[in-house]
Amino acid sequence: MPPTKADNSKPTDSELEAKVLQVIRNNPQVLVESLQAYQQKQADQQQQAQKAFLEQMKSNPKAVIGDSPTTGAKEQKIVLLEFSDFQCPYCSKAHETLKQFMATRQNQVTLVYKHLPLTQIHPEAMPSAKAAWAAGQQGKFWEFHDALFENQQNLGEPLYVATAKALNLDLKRFDQDRNGQAASAAIQKDVEMAEKLGVTGTPFLIMNDQVIANGAQLDSLEAALKQVSQP
């Protein structure tokens, strides 16, 4: 008897999907094991990326610093890298601690600011980052940075303009710079660096090849400095 049309037909997408789902239902451990293997692979890749980054921080900090704003020691032998968000309340607290730390360590430590605006939860994170970057193009990044953290509850367009005026910035250039592609590109470069390292929150601090696990606590900063200063 010749084969029927049904015998010659291929399984439909819905039939294949039903079979796959049935296999998963019958063998749920396979899905769990696959997910765990994927997560482990991601963790291993991230760990390798972080290790390579920390080695570069120690051997060639200038490459990591790039065009980011710096303050403190000019030698860049001890580099404190900070990923931060101007609207993050924890970053505001870290700002106070870092000011205290750098007041006594500015001849030893180079502080570097990297932008990591958490835009999903902080609506002013990106506008404030762009405004600070624009101020930096006129040599006033750190003054603008301090003003943003000291007035964190008032982040918004009026504060950015008022701060720019108070710092005697060229307002036309300030507006052009913060709304230009260069600002977006510079901030995105920092964000990509953070993503490569697996940084998901702020503040995140690294001193040479030491990740400062407890955030911006004064004792943690001093302990890291002692560690990296050892011959």
- Residues of the chain predicted below pLDDT 70: 1-11, 30-31, 33-47, 49-50, 214-215
**Residue 198: its pLDDT value, please?**
85
Q: With the C-alpha atoms ordered 197, 72, 56, 62, is the resulting torsion angle positive or negative?
A: positive
DSSP assignment, residue 180?
S
Q: What share of the chain is helix, strand, coil (3-state, %, to 5)?
A: 60, 10, 30
Alpha-carbon distance of 70 to 141, in angstroms, equals 9
**Residue 208: its pLDDT value, please?**
92
**Residue 29: its pLDDT value, please?**
76
Closest CA to 79 of 94, 97, 66: 66
Closest CA to 77 of 106, 104, 114, 109: 109
HSE at residue 95, side-chain half, CA atoms within 13 A, is 20
Alpha-carbon distance of 119 to 129, in angstroms, equals 11
**Residue 5: its pLDDT value, please?**
46
C-alpha 132: how far from chain center:
16
Neighbouring C-beta atoms of residue 38, cutoff 10 Å? 10
Tracing tokens 């605006």 back to the chain, one arrives at 117
